[in-house]
Amino acid sequence: MDTTIKKTQLFNASCVALVVTALAFATRGSFVEAWATEFNLTHTQVGWIVGTAFWGFTLAMFFGGPLVDIIGLGRILAIAFFCHVVGIVLTIVATGFWTLFISTLFIGVANGSVEAACNPLITSMYTDEKTRRLNRFHAWFPTGIVIGGLVVYLFNNIGLTDWRWAMGIMLIPTFIYGYMFLSKKFPETERVVSGFSYKDMLKACISPLFLFMAFCMILTAATELGTNQWIAALLANVSDNPILLLVWISGIMALARQFGGTFVHNTKSTVILLFSSILAFIGLILMGYMTGAVLVFASAGIFALGIAFFWPTMLGYVSENIPQSGALGLAIMGGIGFLGGAIAQPTLGAIFDSQTAAAIPAGQVIDVLKTAAAGTQEAAALAQATLTGGAHTLRFVAIVPAVLIIFFAFLHFRKR
């Protein structure tokens, strides 16, 4: 084993591992309709399957966070690698609801283990620029979504329409990050180096400020992860390739996080969070009311700028203002964020189903319309009802950033 800590290599390996978590997010988001059709599932059932990744993530964060200082960062990342491989393979051979459910759980645990280890790894290596480095690290999540979305788009256009092809491609970066982390020496976490006790860490994680930020994390994550996981399905009839809408949003997020480091470093975190909430609210409202691909993509761009800095800035704020919380604090924040995403998945699916059903023309039955042949009036009626249902669902989601505007305004002015 290499006995020196090589920051750049560890940072780069962390970024590749995060790309894998993003690929899982992007590709599975594009499989929503395919799974519903192939396995005869409702959107609510698919929501439970997709949401399982978030539950697995939360499970890994809550258990992995306290164990980081005990068993080490390397072992947590080994768990991530194993679960990624198992989850991907099980998804490819899935036969229905429960096999998809179980495979998604493995992938969720893998994704959570990556976050549980990499966030404290980065804050420990770069103690003087935590928020900037976390933004650059988390830029690879939307970058991975862009890669995954383009892979799905490419495969569809060359005739590889079976979603299993896109799933299998994830094994390549998985084995790459496994090799990059192999035999590397990891640093001690910042909490250990700073001399804070385990008791100090536990106490910090139940402080009023931490609990407030944890609750806000549920809402910011639900806004970002909930919407992005469903965006291709909600607006499937806006474009011939709705996955490109997710690619567009993620591309803007990636550029903002990658090149917005100086802005983030020189701006108060509370200001960033407040204006992010305002932009996310405006973007969702506009997407819910605009028609036509150009206007919807423009609205999605505003939404992307709104959610771009949510996740890394929330983690950076906690690490900088409550440093005693250590790796456990970051794990709880990440875990509870994905808990928000998990809650959002079936909720969005149920709202989407109900709003689509409500938009069906009087005298029509949705189950009959689903069996209609392409090009018929019935198929057109279903497409219009689905688009209307998706738009109405986005209007409901806008309530969440509206609440965040109030919370972050309170945090900013109270801090001042």
Report the pLDDT averaged over residues 227-236: 73
Q: Please report whether residue 1 resides in a domain.
A: no
Q: Which of 166, 405, 176 is nearest to 271 (CA)?
A: 405
Buried b (16+ CB within 10 A) or exposed e, 201-211: beebbeeebbe
Q: What pLDDT score does 59 carry?
A: 82
**What digits encode the pLDDT tens for the residues 6-24?**
888 999 999 999 999 888 8
Q: What pLDDT score does 239 carry?
A: 61
Q: What pLDDT score does 62 carry?
A: 74
**Domain CATH code at residue 203:** 1.20.1250.20
Q: What pLDDT score does 331 carry?
A: 83
Report the pLDDT averaged over residues 210-233: 87
Ramachandran class of 120: left when φ > 0, alpha when ψ lies in -120 to 50, beta otherwise: alpha
Q: How far is CA 69 from CA 189, 278, 330, in A?
A: 7, 38, 13
Residue 301 pLDDT > 90: yes
Report the pLDDT averaged over residues 272-288: 94
Q: What pLDDT score does 267 carry?
A: 83
**What digits encode the pLDDT tens for the residues 309-364?**
999 899 889 988 888 887 788 888 988 887 887 788 788 888 888 888 888 877 77
- The single-letter code of the amino acid at 234 is L
Report the pLDDT averaged over residues 289-306: 88
DSSP letter, residue 324: G
**What digits encode the pLDDT tens for the residues 41-72?**
887 788 788 778 777 877 887 777 777 777 88
**What digits encode the pLDDT tens for the residues 140-198?**
988 888 888 788 778 878 877 788 888 888 999 999 999 999 888 888 766 666 666 77
Q: What is the DSSP string of 213-257?
A: HHHHHHHHHIIIIIHHHHHHHHTTTTSSSTHHHHHHHHHHHHHHH
> What is the three-state SS of 287-307?
HHHCCCHHHHHHHHHHHHHHH
Residue 30 pLDDT > 90: no
Q: Please report whether residue 2 resides in a domain.
A: no
Q: What pLDDT score does 64 carry?
A: 76
Q: Which of 399, 303, 304 is nearest to 344 (CA)?
A: 399
- Burial of 394: CB neighbours in 10 Å, binned 0-12, 13-18, 19+: buried
**What digits encode the pLDDT tens for the residues 109-141?**
999 899 888 988 898 888 778 878 888 898 998
Rounded CA-CA distance 54/336 in Å is: 9
Q: Please report whether residue 153 resides in a domain.
A: yes
How wide is the angle at C-alpha 390 spanned by C-alphas 385 and 394, nearest 5°?
145
Q: How many domains does the chain have?
A: 1
Contact 348, 226 (CB under 8 A): yes
Residue 208: which domain range? Answer: 7-415
C-alpha R_g of the chain? 21
Report which of residues 5 and 400 the model is more confident about. 400
